[in-house]
Structure 1
Amino acid sequence: MDLWYSWEFIVIVLAGFSMFRSFCQSEKAPYYTFVHEATSAPHVLYYDYIIIGGGTSGCPLAATLSQGASVLVLERGGSPYGNPKIMNIANFANSLSDTSPNSASQQFISEDGVYNARARVLGGGSALNAGFYTHASDDYVKQAGWIPEFVEKSYAWVESKVAFEPPMLEWQSAVRDGLVEVGVLPYNGFTYDHIYGTKVGGSIFDKYGHRHTAADLLEYAEPRNISVYLHASVHKILFTETGKPWPGPRAYGVVFEDSLGLKHWAYLRKSSMNEIILSAGALGSPQLLMLSGIGPANHLQAHSISVVVDQPMVGQGMADNPMNLLFIPSPIPVEVSLIQVVGITKFNSYVETASGLSFAYSWAHKFIREYELHLNETGQPSAVTAEAMSRATETLNSLVAETLQGGVILEKVIGPVSSGELKLRTTNPDDNPSVRFNYFKEPEDLHRCVQGMRTIIEVVNSRAFSKFRYKDMPVQALIDLVVNLPVNLRPRHFSTAMSLEQFCTDTVMTIWHYHGGCQVGKVVDNDYKVLGVDKLRVIDGSTFIDSPGTNPQATVMMLGRYMGKRILYERFIQGRK
């Protein structure tokens, strides 16, 4: 079934992208001699480092490590290059709605009833997201224990390939000025820095609307020292028995399958310095640890998995930045834009915006039809009844003639404080695990959402934004529009006097910033080494306690570079002993 349920699709359905200008031309894809289909891989391989996941952290990590060692990257997805659904901003939502077997996105529904997607492509989430590029705050860097000087150098390394200053057109400028008008101060101009106030951030879309992903960072790699295999699904990490000279289990290889279902074995070369590194993402890394025998013993045994280490914290601390939005139909045409402006408030909610123009009437109704089809196929109960569907259709009909133009203003909660857990559904690594984020379980998160929504309402009513507002359309009508759309599977409380608290709870969506499951201090140490085993690290967003900045992708890419340099330094020091 097509994915007509992510917030990014709301942007395209209600704001639209299909009439985007033809200047979104694909640049020539980099020619990587070391990237191959896994079907061409030898039956047995030997490398210094085996990286599981060629995503947002895996690509910069692999490129860096290849400067001083041999590196194998095993990516379960395909290449983003040559795929217009991924590479052009005009096709942003299409990359999410592609449900073909080898699509770049893999949809899942959390146990909270919120639609979501995970990446399945070289470059990871950077090949699917809305492109916003911004650093973590200084406080975040300090709390993470990173060295600020090296963090800045690692960010700069990333930015030389994938980050750009976006053009500021009318819609984004109006929201920017509206944020300043309502007191989200100071105005900090264009900057990658995470500081209070309103700013314009970077983008991984260039001036032609062409996406640059973490896969571009492989241009830094030493071709003689690296092999990247696509459609290589890792099934298990292999461990030795406890015994001398290692006090605990030691990772020494992995088993992976190619697209034909043939198994391959990859082993570490014999050296105390060589390692396996998990960079499979916030869902994939804890899932693969469990499948390999590291996780809560009772849960693993229930799936007939032999326990290597009883580690109850694997899969814990799963969190997702909750997102809520208003769609604002515009009386005048608006530009196509993804996230460029952000208001960073002192009450810890971020306000952002996106806009566009499309022949969206049939698309919006397709959204509803596909949602109904999903309920029919899954039999999943929902409070979104036939009456609610009818109300959604009427709402759209009242706003749409032949075209629908406008945009969304959204808020997302920092952190968040609320968290949940991830568990296995099956022992198939290609299946989605079960994950619950517990949105707004903690009152603090709900309070931040309400404050963020109030800020959005103030911006909508601001003088700076006035030309994009229908004068006779009250904010309540904008709230009703979102409430009447089946944006998730959560219970709905339709009321003319709906509180913002209820609005936040009922209409929560994801913004893709889920993290946790292999957190520092709980599953890995400060060097990202998995506790209780040897020669295994996790380097990706699953290690985060909180999501960095207003968008984590820059920091995830930075972390790959940062830890790659650090590991090579350790290797150099050990080699001299």
Structure 2
Amino acid sequence: MDEASYDFIVAGAGSAGCAIAGRLSEDGRHRVLLLEAGPRDTYPWIHIPLGYHKTFNNPRVNWMFDSEPEPELDNRIMYQPRGKVLGGTSSINGMVYMRGNAADYDEWRQRGCEGWDYDSVLPYFKRAEDNARGADAFHGTGGPLKVSDHRWQPTLARAMHDAAVQAGIPANPDFNGAGQEGVGYYQTTINKARRWSSARAYLGGVRRRGNLTIATRAHATRIVIENGRAVGVEYLTPAGVVRAGARHEVIVSGGVYGSPQLLMLSGLGPAAHLRQHGIEVVRDMPGVGSHLHDHFNTYVAYRCAQPVTMNDLAISLRHRVRAAAQYAFGRTGPLASMGLFVGALVRSDRRLERPDLQINMFAWAVKDRNRHGVVPQPFSAFGLSPVHLRPDGRGTVRLKSPDPLAAPEIRFNFLKSTYDFQALIEGMRICREIARQPALQPFVVEEILPGATVTSEADLKADIRARGVSNLHPVGTCRMGREIDAVVDPQLRVHGIDNLRVADASIMPSIVAGNTNAPAIMIGEKCADMVRAAAQ
């Protein structure tokens, strides 16, 4: 077993991990090792925005996890694509730039997470960002993460936006600005029609830094802990097992599934569960792998009267040839986007203080979306998808095996409350109200899913059970806090273990109202500052 020594080891090169490694290595003072179980991000479809569907079920760059059967969803299995490539899930996600609601972070502070209120995290969002709209009180320029508006939009996008306004939803020019509620156009992590992943942002220009070692196809299998202190990491490579030492700290950034799995494999987790798998207990930590939660969504789909949707690419060779030419010669057209242009943040109940629904308006509609791929409707169609942002259900991530290459056991426990159902039913009603507005009438032929006859509460609940899916924003499995089952403190230090931190979406005490990639990158930025301060 070879061994080299570094100042810092970052286990996981996803949204947060790339940010941490990039920042820790930028002044040249420290030696940094960044471990990634997958390959480098050379697969061409990663970088073409509409290539999302090519990576959705590609084992070359995707872990392709499955949940256990979900009791409230007719025992269906929830497919969980996660990035297994440099950049992690930021290399295969939908590229929407959304931070969440300011009150989400203030709530973290109220739960004992000092330094994580909105005023404290906003500087890290701004520092990360290079926003094409320019700098202001809420946005930054000059940062590594490119954030831009869509350079191409179909006529359908404007119609969706205007229909939402006609339905009584106020226009909002910036979901990440002064307020979140309303309808507007999404910004994206796309630059000049190319995906701008965390790897591209933080590693793209620095991979030749002498003090930064990026090891791909290097699967972290165990944190080496001696006398209550993390001193290194063992990882598996094609050549065998390697051990690397850490003089200062180990930072785990394996994501909501990978981080708790690595902690448990290292003896940190629920004691009885670890003993069941023959793992020596270093510290009994019942919170490791607990508190898993995710946004949940369904969708209402419509047959379109005009050939202006992404579905037309799948059914028409002429449309595909034209789209390829637009992208090749002008970096525009459908391939320059991911098909999601417009969204609305709304409340399912006017008594709520902030939005609990995100209505995604897609320029496409699918028949199915699972580990076998994304199957589009065989005709021109589009969809409106209500996403429940504040779910009550909580689940777990556990080991299926002590084998570090085995997939973890994932249980969500979706739809465990009346509120979870009622919010989605109201979201479907809002989607139908938007589709009835004059701006969308030239495009709507008929509702194809769930169908115009599905109107009663019982029928809508049955439809949600049959078709609803994870929105692929899992968080919470190494949650931050001071509760007895919290895993990390507000400095992201693992309770009871020196020189060990966790930094990714798994540390979120509660899920934010919106997409989770930008918050994960913010977490990486903030973690890097805390690590550097401790190393002074």
The amino acid that maps onto 1:440 is: L
Instruction: Say if 1:165 and 1:190, in contact at 8 Å, map to a contact too.
Output: no
Q: TM-score by structure 2 length?
A: 0.81
Query: 1:354-393 residue pairs with structure 2 within 5 A?
Result: 354-356=362-364
Q: Does 1:107 align with 2:39?
A: no
Q: Does 1:157 align with 2:127?
A: yes
In the alignment, the residues of structure 2 paired with residue 150 and residue 503 of structure 1 have an alpha-carbon distance, to the nearest angstrom, of 42
Q: Which residue of 2 aligns with 1:236?
A: 222
**Structure 2 residue aligned with 1:405, among 380, 383, 401?**
380
Q: Does 1:414 align with 2:425?
A: no
Query: 1:124-163 residue pairs with structure 2 within 5 A?
Result: 124-144=88-108, 145-146=115-116, 148=118, 151-160=121-130, 161-163=145-147
Instruction: Say if 1:51 and 1:276, in contact at 8 Å, map to a contact too.
Output: yes
**Structure 2 residue aligned with 1:200, among 165, 173, 185?**
185
Instruction: Say if 1:204 and 1:213, in contact at 8 Å, map to a contact too.
Output: yes
Q: Does 1:172 align with 2:161?
A: no
Instruction: Say if 1:520 and 1:544, in contact at 8 Å, map to a contact too.
Output: yes
Q: Which residue of 2 aligns with 1:377?
A: none
Q: Which residue of 2 aligns with 1:513?
A: 473
Once the two structures are superposed, what CA deviation does each residue of 1:419-477 show, in whole Å capped at 9, x if it has no partner? Answer: 1111110112222111111111022211111111111111121212112101xx3x4x4
Deviation at 1:219, TM superposition (A): 4.1
Q: Which residue of 1 aligns with 2:16?
A: 57
The amino acid that maps onto 2:7 is: D
In the alignment, the residues of structure 2 paired with residue 134 and residue 111 of structure 1 have an alpha-carbon distance, to the nearest angstrom, of 30
In the alignment, the residues of structure 1 paired with residue 437 and residue 164 of structure 2 have an alpha-carbon distance, to the nearest angstrom, of 8
The amino acid that maps onto 2:241 is: K
Deviation at 1:142, TM superposition (A): 2.2
Query: 1:38-57 residue pairs with structure 2 within 5 A?
Result: 43-57=2-16
In the alignment, the residues of structure 2 paired with residue 565 and residue 192 of structure 1 have an alpha-carbon distance, to the nearest angstrom, of 23
Closer/same/farther in 2, CA of residues 127 and 172 from structure 1, 3 Å limit? same
Query: 1:162-561 residue pairs with structure 2 within 5 A?
Result: 162-167=146-151, 168-185=153-170, 187-193=171-177, 195-208=180-193, 210-216=194-200, 217-219=202-204, 221=206, 223-241=209-227, 249-260=228-239, 262-269=240-247, 274-335=248-309, 336=334, 337-347=338-348, 348-356=356-364, 400=378, 404-470=379-445, 473=446, 475=447, 477-480=448-451, 499-521=459-481, 522-561=486-525
In the alignment, the residues of structure 2 paired with residue 159 and residue 125 of structure 1 have an alpha-carbon distance, to the nearest angstrom, of 18
Deviation at 1:127, TM superposition (A): 0.8
The amino acid that maps onto 1:354 is: F
In the alignment, the residues of structure 2 paired with residue 428 and residue 510 of structure 1 have an alpha-carbon distance, to the nearest angstrom, of 26
In the alignment, the residues of structure 1 paired with residue 510 and residue 231 of structure 2 have an alpha-carbon distance, to the nearest angstrom, of 31
The amino acid that maps onto 2:431 is: I
Deviation at 1:155, TM superposition (A): 1.8
The amino acid that maps onto 1:183 is: G
Instruction: Say if 2:306 and 2:443, in contact at 8 Å, map to a contact too.
Output: yes
In the alignment, the residues of structure 2 paired with residue 369 and residue 523 of structure 1 have an alpha-carbon distance, to the nearest angstrom, of 31
Deviation larger for 192-201 or 438-447: 192-201
Instruction: Say if 2:57 and 2:371, in contact at 8 Å, map to a contact too.
Output: no
Instruction: Say if 1:349 and 1:451, in contact at 8 Å, map to a contact too.
Output: no
The amino acid that maps onto 2:475 is: H
In the alignment, the residues of structure 1 paired with residue 406 and residue 340 of structure 2 have an alpha-carbon distance, to the nearest angstrom, of 31
In the alignment, the residues of structure 2 paired with residue 543 and residue 147 of structure 1 have an alpha-carbon distance, to the nearest angstrom, of 15
In the alignment, the residues of structure 1 paired with residue 456 and residue 427 of structure 2 have an alpha-carbon distance, to the nearest angstrom, of 21
Closer/same/farther in 2, CA of residues 110 and 211 from structure 1, 3 Å limit? farther
The amino acid that maps onto 2:129 is: E
Identity of aligned residues (%): 25
Deviation at 1:190, TM superposition (A): 4.1
Q: Which residue of 1 aligns with 2:535?
A: 571
Q: Structure 1: where are the runs of 5+ without partners? A: 1-41, 242-248, 372-391, 484-493, 573-577
In the alignment, the residues of structure 1 paired with residue 399 and residue 30 of structure 2 have an alpha-carbon distance, to the nearest angstrom, of 34
Once the two structures are superposed, what CA deviation does each residue of 1:178-237 show, in whole Å capped at 9, x if it has no partner? Answer: 22221222x1124533611112221112342x2110001224758122111001001101
In the alignment, the residues of structure 1 paired with residue 411 and residue 449 of structure 2 have an alpha-carbon distance, to the nearest angstrom, of 29
Closer/same/farther in 2, CA of residues 368 and 86 from structure 1, 3 Å limit? closer
More helix per residue: 1 or 2?
1
Deviation at 1:415, TM superposition (A): 2.6
Deviation at 1:550, TM superposition (A): 1.3
Closer/same/farther in 2, CA of residues 104 and 283 from structure 1, 3 Å limit? same
**Which secondary structure state, in structure 1, belongs to the residue aligned with residue 380 of structure 2?**
strand
Instruction: Say if 1:425 and 1:433, in contact at 8 Å, map to a contact too.
Output: yes
In the alignment, the residues of structure 2 paired with residue 497 and residue 553 of structure 1 have an alpha-carbon distance, to the nearest angstrom, of 34
Deviation at 1:73, TM superposition (A): 0.6
Deviation at 1:326, TM superposition (A): 1.9
In the alignment, the residues of structure 2 paired with residue 549 and residue 218 of structure 1 have an alpha-carbon distance, to the nearest angstrom, of 28
Q: Does 1:71 align with 2:45?
A: no
Q: Which residue of 2 aligns with 1:87?
A: 47
Deviation at 1:69, TM superposition (A): 2.2
Instruction: Say if 1:132 and 1:340, in contact at 8 Å, map to a contact too.
Output: no
Closer/same/farther in 2, CA of residues 139 and 410 from structure 1, 3 Å limit? same
In the alignment, the residues of structure 2 paired with residue 442 and residue 529 of structure 1 have an alpha-carbon distance, to the nearest angstrom, of 33
Instruction: Say if 1:323 and 1:508, in contact at 8 Å, map to a contact too.
Output: yes
Deviation at 1:147, TM superposition (A): 5.9
Equivalent residues, number: 465
Deviation at 1:88, TM superposition (A): 1.0
Closer/same/farther in 2, CA of residues 70 and 162 from structure 1, 3 Å limit? same
Closer/same/farther in 2, CA of residues 369 and 507 from structure 1, 3 Å limit? closer
Once the two structures are superposed, what CA deviation does each residue of 1:100-142 show, in whole Å capped at 9, x if it has no partner? Answer: xx33342323432222212111111111111100123221232
Once the two structures are superposed, what CA deviation does each residue of 1:130-174 show, in whole Å capped at 9, x if it has no partner? Answer: 110012322123233326555333223332233111144322222
Q: Which residue of 1 aligns with 2:133?
A: none
Instruction: Say if 1:63 and 1:220, in contact at 8 Å, map to a contact too.
Output: no
Q: TM-score by structure 1 length?
A: 0.76
The amino acid that maps onto 1:349 is: L
Closer/same/farther in 2, CA of residues 461 and 495 from structure 1, 3 Å limit? closer
Instruction: Say if 2:230 and 2:250, in contact at 8 Å, map to a contact too.
Output: yes
**Which secondary structure state, in structure 1, belongs to the residue aligned with residue 238 of structure 2?**
coil
Deviation larger for 136-145 or 72-81: 136-145
**Which secondary structure state, in structure 2, belongs to the residue aligned with residue 48 of structure 1?**
strand
Closer/same/farther in 2, CA of residues 174 and 234 from structure 1, 3 Å limit? same
Deviation at 1:57, TM superposition (A): 0.4
Instruction: Say if 1:76 and 1:231, in contact at 8 Å, map to a contact too.
Output: yes
In the alignment, the residues of structure 2 paired with residue 266 and residue 281 of structure 1 have an alpha-carbon distance, to the nearest angstrom, of 21
In the alignment, the residues of structure 1 paired with residue 244 and residue 216 of structure 2 have an alpha-carbon distance, to the nearest angstrom, of 14
Instruction: Say if 1:166 and 1:206, in contact at 8 Å, map to a contact too.
Output: no
The amino acid that maps onto 1:453 is: M
